[in-house]
């Protein structure tokens, strides 16, 4: 193994500062027998982390692992169109993990076998989803309330397939039920390859600050299973301080990658000792926008126009898109209209200051109905 969570904690305890080119931070990591080129991963964002987004991010560089949107296990093995779209992939879309969820062990097992038979390389089980309809059927974050039940479920999946199985969880259900350390230890014992911890409880939804101490305690509890820390990482500094403060083996970034698609490139550059912060040119920013849309259109045809609109708010100021054109991107209806908007962005790119927005755009409403 190229490095473990415990080694990570050790390194940061010794140095005490954010390593700029620490050997561990810059080194690849092995999870479930796969060597991942970097320790900075894309966290799943339902509705966003489709093939097109994963591919444009990979094109920029620095991304160690991407995970699909969560897919309902029973919809996957029964091969529903929407679920097949979510797991659509291609050779350039590696390394990839597919995230499945269910409250039914049998459904998870069938989905895992389906993934293995269809050539996927890794399975992630969701134990963090806060949505009421997922939790009421026993899936998502609800699994964290019953450690024994959750472990037996995952163990059945591990027994059914040869693929590495990972789990993504929160700290627990609420402040009175922090089960992440206990659950992570039990999952390590049954052979889970890695655990991602979003440093909030289910009842926090997406509010409040991420509890890095809670993640650190999970890292400290396990023997050597990599813990991937997650939550509110928006900048290179955030990524390094997350590693330093928690001792995690890797960091997963969700919304930060939407706000700044170059984040992985920057982090990896700094991990490798680059002193200049990587800043994309205007051409690169515009190419990113066009490429993302073209890839989406390749998969979804005309429907891509509708699907792409929600990216406009995230991309606007980062890609230097003038506000009126950002507004048009939220409403465009055809390929020709998209091309015209891009033509105008090219002419007027310098007008709006390019910035990485610090405010969160379009966060889900809370723990109950939406992500
Ligand atoms: C719109 C949206 C969709 C999400 N979808 C998923 C999902 O499908 N599976 C999952 O495990 N977590 C999902 N999450 C949670 C994120 O993966 C991540 O844990 C959370 O956003 C905190 O990390 P971040 O601050 O880097 O975004 C979602 C979050 C958001 C905002």
C-beta separation of 226 from 31 below 8 A: yes
Q: Which of 44, 48, 71, 197 to mutate to test the pocket of ligand 1 (most atoms within 8 A of CB)?
A: 44
User: Which residue's CA is the closest to the ligand 1 atom numbered 2?
Assistant: 45
Active-site residue identified among 90, 129, 305, 354: 129
CA of 289 to the centre of ligand 1 (A): 22
Q: Across 123-132, 134-143, 169-178, 268-277, which has the greatest mean pLDDT? A: 169-178
Q: Which of 230, 221, 162 is nearest to 186 (CA)?
A: 221
257 CA closest ligand 1 atom index: 26
C-beta separation of 87 from 96 below 8 A: no
Farthest-apart Cα atoms in the chain, separation: 59
CA of 45 to the centre of ligand 1 (A): 5
More confident residue, 202 or 122: 122
First to last CA, the chain: 34
Q: Is 135 left (phi over 0), alpha (psi -120 to 50) or beta?
A: alpha
User: Which residue's CA is the closest to the ligand 1 atom numbered 22?
Assistant: 231
Question: What is the Cα–Cα distance from 207 to 100, expressed in whole angstroms?
Answer: 24
Question: What is the Cα–Cα distance from 245 to 256, expressed in whole angstroms?
Answer: 19
What's the pTM?
Answer: 0.91
C-beta separation of 3 from 227 below 8 A: no
The neighbour count for residue 120, using CB atoms within 10 Å, is 18
Say how far residue 39 (Cα) sits from the centre of its chain. Answer: 12
C-beta separation of 168 from 126 below 8 A: yes
Confidence band of 135 (pLDDT split at 50, 70, 90): confident
H helix runs in 87-141, sequence order: 105-117, 132-135
CA of 341 to the centre of ligand 1 (A): 30
CA of 163 to the centre of ligand 1 (A): 23
User: Which residue's CA is the closest to the ligand 1 atom numbered 14?
Assistant: 45
68 CA closest ligand 1 atom index: 8
In 102-236, beta strands by DSSP E: 123-127, 165-172, 194-201, 227-230
CA of 337 to the centre of ligand 1 (A): 31
pLDDT tens column, 16-60: 334 444 557 888 999 999 999 999 999 999 999 999 999 999 999
Residue 3 has pLDDT above 50, yes or no: no
124 CA closest ligand 1 atom index: 11
Pocket of ligand 1 (CB under 6 A): 43-47, 69-70, 99, 126, 128, 168, 198, 230-233, 253-256, 363-364, 371
Q: Which of 40, 41, 42, 46 to mutate to test the pocket of ligand 1 (most atoms within 8 A of CB)?
A: 46
Length of the chain measured in residues: 371
C-alpha angle 158-159-161 in degrees, rounded to nearest 5: 70
Please compute the mean of the pLDDT values over residues 2-27 and round it to a whole number.
47
CA of 129 to the centre of ligand 1 (A): 8
C-beta separation of 251 from 242 below 8 A: yes
What torsion do the CA atoms of 135, 137, 139, 140 make, to the nearest 10 degrees?
Answer: -20
Residue 371 has pLDDT above 70, yes or no: no
Say how far residue 155 (Cα) sits from the centre of its chain. Answer: 24
- For strands 29-31 and 34-36, give the pairing: antiparallel
Question: What is the Cα–Cα distance from 98 to 13, expressed in whole angstroms?
Answer: 34
C-beta separation of 9 from 212 below 8 A: no
**If you ran DSSP here, which 8-state letter would residue 178 be given?**
B
C-alpha angle 177-254-207 in degrees, rounded to nearest 5: 45
User: Which residue's CA is the closest to the ligand 1 atom numbered 25?
Assistant: 232
Look at residue 31 in the predicted model and tell me its pLDDT. Answer: 97
200 CA closest ligand 1 atom index: 22
Q: Which of 40, 41, 45, 235 to mutate to test the pocket of ligand 1 (most atoms within 8 A of CB)?
A: 45
User: Which residue's CA is the closest to the ligand 1 atom numbered 19?
Assistant: 198
Q: Which of 156, 295, 169, 287 is nearest to 228 (CA)?
A: 169
pLDDT tens column, 147-205: 999 999 999 999 999 999 999 999 999 999 999 999 999 999 999 999 999 999 998 88
Question: What is the Cα–Cα distance from 182 to 53, expressed in whole angstroms?
Answer: 34
Sign, CA dihedral 71-76-82-84, equals positive
C-beta separation of 140 from 126 below 8 A: yes
128 CA closest ligand 1 atom index: 11
Q: Is 129 annotated in the active site?
A: yes
CA of 310 to the centre of ligand 1 (A): 16
């Amino acid at each position: 193994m190229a490095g473990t969570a415990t080694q990570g904690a050790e390194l940061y305890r010794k140095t005490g500062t954010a390593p700029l080119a620490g050997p561990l931070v810059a080194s690849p990591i092995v999870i479930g027998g796969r060597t991942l080129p970097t320790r900075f991963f894309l966290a799943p964002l339902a509705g966003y982390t489709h093939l097109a987004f994963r591919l444009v991010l990979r094109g920029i560089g620095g991304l160690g692992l991407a995970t699909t949107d969560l897919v309902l296990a029973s919809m996957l093995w029964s091969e529903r169109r929407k679920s097949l779209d979510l797991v659509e992939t291609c050779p350039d879309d590696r390394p990839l993990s597919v995230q499945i969820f269910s409250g039914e062990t049998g459904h998870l097992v069938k989905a895992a076998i389906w993934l293995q038979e269809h050539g996927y390389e890794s399975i992630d089980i969701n134990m963090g989803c806060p949505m009421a309809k997922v939790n009421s059927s026993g899936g998502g974050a609800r699994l964290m309330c019953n450690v024994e039940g959750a472990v037996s479920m995952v163990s059945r999946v591990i027994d059914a397939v040869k693929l590495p199985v990972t789990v993504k969880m929160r700290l627990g259900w609420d402040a009175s039920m922090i089960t992440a350390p206990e659950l992570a230890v039990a999952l390590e014992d049954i052979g889970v390859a890695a655990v991602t911890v979003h440093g909030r409880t289910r009842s926090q939804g997406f509010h409040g600050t991420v509890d890095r101490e809670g993640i650190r305690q999970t890292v400290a509890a396990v023997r050597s299973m990599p813990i991937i820390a997650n939550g509110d990482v928006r900048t290179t500094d955030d990524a390094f301080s997350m590693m330093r403060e928690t001792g995690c083996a890797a960091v997963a970034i969700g919304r930060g990658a939407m706000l700044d698609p170059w984040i992985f490139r920057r982090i990896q550059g700094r991990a490798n000792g680059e002193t200049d912060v990587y800043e994309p040119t205007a051409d690169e920013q515009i190419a990113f926008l066009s490429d993302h849309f073209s890839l989406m259109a390749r998969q979804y045809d005309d429907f891509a126009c509708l699907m792409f609109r929600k990216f406009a708010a995230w991309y606007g100021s980062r890609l230097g898109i003038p506000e009126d054109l950002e507004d048009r991107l939220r409403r465009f209806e055809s390929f020709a209209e998209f091309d015209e908007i891009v033509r105008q962005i090219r002419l007027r790119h310098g007008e709006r200051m390019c910035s990485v927005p610090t405010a969160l755009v379009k966060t889900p409403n809370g723990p109950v109905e939406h992500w």
